[in-house]
Every structure is written in C-alpha cells, then in structure tokens.
Chains A and B, each alone.
Chain A
Amino acid sequence: MLTLAIPPEIVGQMAEQARAAAPIEACGILAGREGCVEKLYPMTNADQSTDHFMMEPAEQFSVVKDIRARGLTLLAVFHSHPETPARPSDEDIRLALTPGVMHVILSLADPSRPVIKGYEIVDGKTSPVNVVCA
C-alpha cells in the first residue's frame, strides 16, 4: 500500500480551508518529495458547488509550474466532502485522470472531527493509501 505523509500543520491548513469553504467543496494540490507532503496549494473550486469541484485550468498550470520550479512533485489532489464520508464518489473516480497522483478526501461529516483518507485510483479501480500525519 502506498503511504502519504502529511505534516500536522498542513493537515491543519486543509481542515481550515475545508471549514472556511463549507458548504462548498474545497480543493487543493499537495506537493512534496518521495511521498512526503511539503506544500499545500489551496485551489479555487470553479464550480462553487456543495457537491462537486473542478479546478481552474489557469490556476492548475500556474501551480504545476511552481511545483516544478521548487523541485517538488505533484503527489495528490485534495478535496473536501462537507457532509459525506471520505470515500471517492463515482464522479471522483471518473475524473481521476492524472497518472501517478493520489487522491485525498477530507470529510467534515462530523465538523468537530475531520476525517482524512487517501486513495489511489487507476483505470476506475480504487485502492486505499496509508495517510499518516507526520
């Protein structure tokens, strides 16, 4: 099983972003090295929807170039489920198109206790990723 290590301060940033955006879905990109996240890029949810997210291509291009300039790797796409569990929806699976990227979902179903889970989604097949706060 793949492992993704996310430092506590970045977990905190993700939860804060998700809470601030709720009931809209929040989204972001996690970049780092060798499975260890070093930076969260909060992204705009172009759909501004409570049950869907889509990143802005111009923002994506800008972030991908910044990741490259810093010598980092795009490790994972992050988004929140404001009211539902942290498991991939059919839409998450359908739109998991970028090769080699993990998918991290933060659930605010219980707002006082955010739940973060990670997945690898390849050709429509989902397998869990071991997400550790470290």
Chain B
Amino acid sequence: MRTNEVVRFDMLLKVNGEEVSLAEGLTVTELLKDRRVKMPEMVSVELNGRILRRSEFDTTSIAEGDKVEFLYFMGGGRATD
C-alpha cells in the first residue's frame, strides 16, 4: 500500500433492521443518498432510538454498530369535489 493512499474502512450497522456494510464516517445525508432516498427532506430518521432533527442530517456521522431507521412521512388530505 502506498503511504499517501486514502483508505476508507467499511463499518457494519443495521439500517431498517438489515445488517449492511457501509463506508466508515458517512453522515446521515450520505447514508440516505446511498440508500437511494429520492426526497430526503420527506423522511424521518431515528439513530439508536433517537429521532433526529432535519438540521442534524448533514452533521451527524454514522458509526460501527449503529442502528438507523428511516421512513417516509405518511400523510394526505381529503378529495375535493
């Protein structure tokens, strides 16, 4: 290995109950992108049992062994005649 080579290790974590291997140091925003979430502004994220504020998505890093859950908002409105 060259000494100036950048190495990113993988970490094991659980995302929505499934064990996955992802690059170490991902932020929540990067994780949602990796999981192909189309509208990250429309999801709620729970990290190790704590629901994150949207403002924390960019600044919160995921670590080995973390449990991450995310889901889309579920809502709607009535039909109009």
A95 touches B75 (CB 8 A): yes
A79 touches B76 (CB 8 A): yes
Query: Which B residues from 51 to 81 make CB contacts under 8 A with A?
Result: 51, 69, 71-81
Query: Which A residues from 60 to 79 make CB contacts under 8 A with B?
Result: 60-61, 64-65, 68, 77, 79
| Chain A interface category by residue count | 35 or more
Per-residue contact bits, chain B 23-58, to A (CB 8 Å; 1 contact, 0 not): 000000000000000010010101000010000000
> In chain B, what residue has the closest Cβ to A98?
B72
Please report the C-alpha to C-alpha distance between residue A95 and residue B73 in the assembled complex, in whole angstroms. Answer: 7
A89 touches B39 (CB 8 A): no
Q: How many residues of B contact A (CB 8 A)?
A: 19
Residues of A within 8 A of B77 (CB): 51-53, 89-92
Query: Which of B17, B76, B80 has the most chain A CB atoms closer than 10 A to its own CB?
Result: B76
B76 touches A95 (CB 8 A): yes
* Cβ contact of A92, chosen from B46, B73, B76, cutoff 8 A: B76
Listed by A's residue number, 29 A-B pairs whose Cβ atoms lie within 8 Å are A27-B74, A51-B78, A53-B76, A57-B46, A57-B73, A61-B44, A61-B69, A61-B71, A64-B16, A64-B69, A64-B71, A77-B74, A79-B76, A81-B78, A83-B78, A84-B78, A84-B80, A84-B81, A85-B79, A85-B81, A89-B76, A89-B78, A95-B75, A96-B76, A97-B39, A97-B73, A98-B72, A98-B74, A103-B76
Q: Which residues in B have some Cβ–Cβ distance to A below 8 Å?
A: 16-17, 39, 42, 44, 46, 51, 69, 71-81
